[in-house]
Amino acid sequence: MTGYVQPKAEWLARMRAGRFVHHAIVEKDVTVEAEGDAARLVGRIVTDATVYGAHADWRLRLTMDYACEGGAWTALRAVATTR
């Protein structure tokens, strides 16, 4: 993890090109806090993935922010760290 904020289009292009291949994801701890039309999911996960050719179990902390509009929840931002 480098701290690089990757644009969505770039991330999707790399997924399509096979740069990131997820084999399995195991949830270790997940919490969701919601207030009104906003919610935040924080989870610790282990992702079995091949990233740029390196196959490993990646222990990650995932934070995702959501907003609800018209009854539909939309992911606004996702951050994955190794901490």
pLDDT digits (tens, 9 = 90+) for 22-81: 999 999 999 999 999 999 999 999 999 998 899 999 999 999 999 999 999 999 999 999
Q: CA-CA distance, 33 to 66, in Å (whole number)?
A: 10
Q: How far is CA 31 from CA 28, 64, 70, 77, in A?
A: 10, 11, 24, 16
pLDDT digits (tens, 9 = 90+) for 56-72: 999 999 999 999 999 99
Q: CA-CA distance, 34 to 68, in Å (whole number)?
A: 10
**Confidence (pLDDT) at 1:** 64
Q: How far is CA 77 from CA 8, 25, 27, 66, 72, in A?
A: 10, 19, 19, 7, 16
Is the pLDDT at 4 greater than 70, yes or no?
A: yes
19 with 52: CB under 8 angstroms?
Answer: yes
Choose the CATH number for 25-81 among 2.70.150.10, 3.10.450.50, 3.20.20.140, 3.40.50.150: 3.10.450.50
